[in-house]
Amino acid sequence: MRLNAWLARAGVASRRKADELIKAGRVTVNGAPGELHTVVQPGDQVALDGRRLARQELAYVLLYKPSATVTTASDPQGRRTVVDLVDHPARVVPVGRLDADTTGALLLTNDGELAHRLAHPSYEVDKVYEVECWTQPTDAELERLRAGVELHDGRSSPAVVRRLDGARIELTIHEGRNRQVKRMIEAVGRRVKRLHRSRYGPLTLEGLEPGAWRELEPLEVEQLRSTAASSLLP
């Protein structure tokens, strides 16, 4: 395991921040200064500023993200973050991102490899959203969403769409571009009033209230890993 990934797994910092610690000479492996390309082997002793570190156990958490919460580990503006809501001994970080006003299912983990694979566009992880528009979309507009719409960063993949009632629809996509659902709705001439992610892959919010979280069951973790393993990404 590369040193930056090992440090992230130990709960020290994100991989990017870990790279900064390594370049600053603050990390040693078996007493020698660590390098960006250093690979940590089982039994190696890793230390930060002379303090020996231990790798954390893998942890997987499902959070019912409430509104007015930012999907990040820290916020310079002092807003409440999703990490603030998860009182877990392991340093878990969110997989992907939900806008501050979007609610719903959010996975947090310290399994960097799985998080990377799940977030990669090659992996077709279903994300199911309940979308309330300000005005009712027409059947023709829903058909456009099903076919895929042009966005500034390329055409979206076809979505699975069904009308719930009135101005509410359910939209299933497997991409994860920035503000994608809102931009898709805007591309057909509507605007989103409320957005809620009801499912992420096999994970639903059954039994959770907004702001609450739970550990994933072993079977759920295996289902996520199976989803990741099914892609052609090397």
Q: How confident is the model at residue 234 (pLDDT cuts 50, 70, 90)?
A: very low
- Residue 184 is predicted with a pLDDT of 98
What mean pLDDT do residues 116-136 have? 87
Q: 166 and 142: one domain?
A: yes
Interval 92-98 mean pLDDT: 91
Same domain, 88 and 183: no
Domain CATH number, residue 113: 3.30.70.580
Predicted pLDDT at 230: 60
User: Where in the sequence is the domain holding 24, given as residue range(s)?
Assistant: 3-52
Higher per-residue confidence, 118 vs 131: 131
Question: 44, 99, 126, 165: which is the annotated catalytic residue?
Answer: 99
Q: Are residues 179 and 208 located together in one domain of the fold?
A: no
pLDDT mean over 206-215: 97
| Amino acid at position 41, single letter | Q
DSSP state at residue 146: H
Strands 103-109 and 192-200: parallel
234 located within any domain:
no
Domain CATH code at residue 154: 3.30.70.1560
- 163 and 221, same structural domain? no
Confidence (pTM)? 0.82
Judged by DSSP in three states, 212 sits in: coil
Q: What is the CATH number of the domain that holds 46?
A: 3.10.290.10
Cα pseudo-dihedral 115, 117, 123, 125, rounded to 10: -10
- Split into its structural domains, the chain has a count of 3
99 is catalytic: yes
End-to-end CA distance of the chain: 16
Q: Can you give the pLDDT at residue 232? A: 45
Burial, 184: exposed, middle or buried (Cβ in 10 Å; 0-12, 13-18, 19+)?
buried
